[in-house]
């Protein structure tokens, strides 16, 4: 079931789904009051599916009065009997709309303040939408110029779509489809109006290949347009700003950090059941590479071995533990702790070296002694930062 809603009996605008409001403009329109016969009253946030404050109000919808909480309060909090009939179903379903609900909370009465808040809200909202589109365009261009798309995929598929149905139920000429409309999803899902620059819906009748060629042309025209160039420039600007924030965070938190995962080398097993072991490594958060590894030996005293569980009820009443393996536990724990300590020391040293080098942002920059450290760590030898 899709979204649905009802119009407020005071302002005649729909009660909006929590998923469709703009925080800077009309977030107040998701807070609802539902009045019913006999003093029935529910207050809360509307989820878009008939639930207000977590209560399902769909069964009594025809006889209920729906209001925005703000409108109800401004009207003096009237009761159900104040209204001559229930609320009408909202044509926009409380979700699919453009700018018709760009309204400031009616509890703010000063006209100048309302005008200021609305202007600031629209500017903030439109900038957020624009930035989202800039990210989309940059991503689509990257996908189209790389090897990410399949043979049948199109670079424009995230923006343009079309229907494929028979016309009036009749079989069409072979090789032809009836496409009711090519839709520009930007101006449907984002709720921007056609006058904002969207293509809206474009009627098209023809063969499938002709349809695809037509949309290819629409995309090519957009890709060569000043609009697309502006989007890409904004995406580049945002990417640079995000990178600067990331580098700043790495300077404060550290470029190198310790993490772990299950080792790929053999672990101890008891009757075939692996006891599991973790390897530790120092990760470069900038390049996402690995600077140092601390892993278990493949031979020697602590290399993975097979053990047999006890069947002596005096030793293990459940028969699931090997006494011989239990004797190894302190050594294994000590070895794992040595990994943690060495990895912590390595990360600290690498971060100090990065700071001393002036925080170079190149992903290929490598701290001193990494190759030697990896060599020693693999063999579980003591190490020093050379």
pLDDT in tens, 247-259: 999 999 999 999 9
Residue 383 resides in a domain: no
234 or 298: which carries more pLDDT confidence? 234
Q: Quick check: is 386 in a domain?
A: no
Pick from 123, 124, 137: nearest CA to 230: 137
User: With contact defined as beta carbons under 8 Å apart, do 37 and 21 qualify?
Assistant: no
pLDDT digits (tens, 9 = 90+) for 126-179: 899 889 889 999 988 887 776 566 666 788 888 888 765 444 444 445 455 555
Both 59 and 2 in one domain: the answer is yes
Higher per-residue pLDDT: 167 or 265:
265
> What's residue 303's pLDDT?
86
The total number of structural domains in the chain stands at: 3
The Cα 281–Cα 260 span in angstroms is 6
Q: In the listed set 74, 106, 138, which residue is the last one of a domain according to the structure?
A: 106
Is residue 207, in this structure, part of any structural domain at all? yes
**pLDDT at residue 353 is higher than 50:** yes
Q: Clarify whether residues 171 and 227 are in a common domain.
A: yes
More confident residue, 379 or 335: 335
207 and 291 housed in the same domain:
no
171 and 245 belong to one structural domain:
yes
The residue ranking higher by pLDDT, 115 or 269, is 115
The mean of the pLDDT values for the chain is 82
Question: With 60 as the cut, is the pLDDT of residue 1 above it?
Answer: no
Position of tokens 């009443």? 317
384: confidence class by pLDDT, cuts 50, 70, 90: very low
Split at pLDDT 50, 70, 90, the class of 109 is very high
Question: Rounded CA gap, 284 and 291, in Å?
Answer: 6
245 shares its domain with 260: no
**pTM passes above 0.85:** no
| 163 touches 179 (CB < 8 A) | yes
Instruction: Name the band, by pLDDT with cuts 50, 70 and 90, for residue 85.
Output: confident
Please state the φ and ψ torsions of residue 241, each to the nearest 5 degrees.
-65, -40
- Token readout for 179 is 């496409």
Query: Where among 68, 87, 106 does a domain terminate?
Result: 106
**Distance in angstroms (rounded) separating the CA atoms of residues 331 and 324:** 12
315 in a structural domain: yes
Q: How confident is the model at residue 194 (pLDDT cuts 50, 70, 90)?
A: very low
Number of alpha carbons in the 13 Å side-chain half-sphere of residue 211: 21
**Domain of residue 353, residue span:** 254-378
Same domain, residue pair 301 and 176: no
Residues 166 and 196 both lie in one domain: yes
C-alpha dist (Å) from residue 23 to 15, 107, 125, 218? 15, 16, 8, 33
Query: Are residues 117 and 151 both part of a single domain?
Result: yes
Structure tokens at 144: 């189209």
Q: How far apart are CA 176 and CA 211, in angstroms?
A: 10
Same structural domain for residues 328 and 269? yes
Residues 226 and 174 in one domain: yes
The helix or strand, by DSSP H or E, that contains position 373, with its residue range, turns out to be: helix 370-378
Q: Which of 87, 106, 125 is the last residue of a domain?
A: 106
Is residue 19 in a domain? yes
- Whether residues 261 and 310 fall in one domain: yes
How many Å apart are CA 153 and CA 303, to the nearest integer?
50
User: Among 145-154, 234-243, 263-272, 304-313, whose mean pLDDT is lowest?
Assistant: 145-154
Distance (Å, whole) CA 183 – CA 203: 9
Structure tokens given for 172: 């069409």
Same domain for 362 and 324: yes
Please check whether residue 100 lies inside any domain of the structure: yes
Look at residue 386 in the predicted model and tell me its pLDDT. Answer: 46
pLDDT at position 229? 95
Is 271 part of a structural domain of the chain?
Answer: yes
- Domain presence at residue 384: no
- Check: CB of residue 10 under 8 Å from CB of residue 72: yes
């Amino acid at each position: 079931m899709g979204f649905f809603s009802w119009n407020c009996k005071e302002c005649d605008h729909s009660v909006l789904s929590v998923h469709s409001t703009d925080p800077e403009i009309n977030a107040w329109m998701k807070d609802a009051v539902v009045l019913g016969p006999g003093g029935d009253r529910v207050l809360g946030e509307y989820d878009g599916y008939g639930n207000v404050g977590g209560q399902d109000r769909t069964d009594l919808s025809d006889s209920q009065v729906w209001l925005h909480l703000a409108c109800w309060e401004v009207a003096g909090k009237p009761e159900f009997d104040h209204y001559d009939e229930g609320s009408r179903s909202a044509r926009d379903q409380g979700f699919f709309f453009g700018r018709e609900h760009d309204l400031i909370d009616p509890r703010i009465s000063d006209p100048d303040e309302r005008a200021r808040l609305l202007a600031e809200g629209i500017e903030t909202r439109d900038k957020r939408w624009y930035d989202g589109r800039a990210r989309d365009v940059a991503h689509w261009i990257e996908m189209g110029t790389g090897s990410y798309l399949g043979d049948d995929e199109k670079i424009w598929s995230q923006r343009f779509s079309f229907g494929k149905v028979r016309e009036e139920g009749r079989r069409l000429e072979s090789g032809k489809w009836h496409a009711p409309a090519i839709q520009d999803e930007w101006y449907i899902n984002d709720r921007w109006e056609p006058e904002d620059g969207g293509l809206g819906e474009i009627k098209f009748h023809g063969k499938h290949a002709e349809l695809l060629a037509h949309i290819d042309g629409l995309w090519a025209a957009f890709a060569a347009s000043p609009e697309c160039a502006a989007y890409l420039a904004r995406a580049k600007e945002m990417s640079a700003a995000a990178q600067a924030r990331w580098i700043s965070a790495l300077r404060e938190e550290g470029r190198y950090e310790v993490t772990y995962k299950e080792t790929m080398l053999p672990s101890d097993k008891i009757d075939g059941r692996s006891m599991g072991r973790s390897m530790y490594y120092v990760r470069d958060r900038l390049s996402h590479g690995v600077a140092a590894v601390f892993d278990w030996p493949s031979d020697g005293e602590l290399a993975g071995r097979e053990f047999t569980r006890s069947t002596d009820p005096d030793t293990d009443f459940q028969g699931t533990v090997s006494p011989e393996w239990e004797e190894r536990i302190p050594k294994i724990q000590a070895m794992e702790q040595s990994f943690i300590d060495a990895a912590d020391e390595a990360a600290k040293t690498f971060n100090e070296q990065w700071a001393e080098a002036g925080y170079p942002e190149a992903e290929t920059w490598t701290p001193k002694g990494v190759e030697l450290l990896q060599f020693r760590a693999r063999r579980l030898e003591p190490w020093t930062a050379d």
